[in-house]
Amino acid sequence: MRVLGIDCGGECTGYGVVELDGAGELVCLACGAIRLSPREPLARRLARIYGELGAVIEEHHPVEVAIEEIFYALNVKSALKLGQVRGVAMLAAAAAGLEVAEYSPLTIKASVVGYGRASKEQVQHMVTRLLGLPEAPEPMDASDALAIAICHLHTAGTLEKQKVSIP
């Protein structure tokens, strides 16, 4: 199973494609971040996020998309900014016919580090270990996106197992 994780941000949006292979190993297929210039008009910035996420989907063929659930933000202004990016990211998934799963930051951290209040650095460290990467994925937005994808694979995996064990 192959999952695209997206970490939406007002200035920088991370993405990461992770596969759970036949041997039960997590493999990182791609990761990166889309940085937006505040000088570009907003509509064009959003079009770039949409285009780049679409290109990642077309190249790596994830079967599902996972995204962070957001309940809070610093303030209304940053929530609006984040919402705009999030809407476009979800649309990129829907345009490719993919389902979008949403996870709270707490669930993502608990799934990757085993502790819901883990720091960003702890998440990055565990993502690097779980994916067997030679070094930590940079920027932090990229490793956050990989964490979201891993969380979905863990959860989807657990659900699969439950399906099997409960006839």
Which are the catalytic amino acids? Answer: 7, 68, 141
**Residue 63, amino acid:** V
The answer to whether 95 touches 37, Cβ cutoff 8 Å, is no
Cis peptide before 139 (omega within 30 of 0): yes
Listed ranges 30-38, 83-91, 118-126, 150-158: which one lies at the site for a second copy (CB under 8 A):
83-91
Nearer to a second copy, 45 or 154 (CB): 45
Q: Map residue 15 onto helix, strand or coil.
A: strand
| Other C-beta atoms lying within 10 Å of the C-beta of residue 66 | 29
Mark residues 55-74: x for contact with a second copy by CB under 8 A, - for none: ---------------xxxx-
Residues 86-145 touching a second copy, rule: CB under 8 A, are 86-88, 90-91, 93-95, 99-100
The answer to whether 125 touches 136, Cβ cutoff 8 Å, is yes
DSSP 84-109: HHHHHHHHHHHHTT-EEEEE-HHHHH
Is residue 157 a contact point for a second copy (CB under 8 A)? no
Mark residues 17-46: x for contact with a second copy by CB under 8 A, - for none: ------------------------xxxx-x
| Contacts to a second copy by CB under 8 A | 41-44, 46-47, 50, 70-73, 75-77, 79-88, 90-91, 93-95, 99-100
